[in-house]
Amino acid sequence: MLEHTDEARVFEAMKEDLLRLYPGRFAVVCRGELLGVYASVDDALLATCRVFGDGGIPDGAPILISEIARTVSVRVMATPSTRFSSASAAV
């Protein structure tokens, strides 16, 4: 199923270049573009959270984090969203 997403298609289109430049690292793809390459999946997740929190990724935009390898063993697909506004969080 993941292979049929736009993010997976974008990753596959740039995979050979990524393998040559960043083997073993982790790529973050969102809305048809490479957002960054990170040393670990943890670094990729943290960077993605920061970008989302800063408004650089719109609510509900699908994100792919993929290991850069011939045979990928780690791939994360996420759709971040805010669950409630700050007004509804007030107690």
pTM beyond 0.85:
no
For 2, 71, 87, 89, the CA distances from 48, given in Å and listed in that order, are 19, 23, 25, 23
Reported as a single tens digit per residue, the pLDDT across 12-53 is 999 999 999 999 999 999 999 999 999 999 999 999 989 888
pLDDT-derived band at 86 (thresholds 50, 70, 90) equals low
Q: Kind of pairing, strands 75-78 and 26-30?
A: unpaired
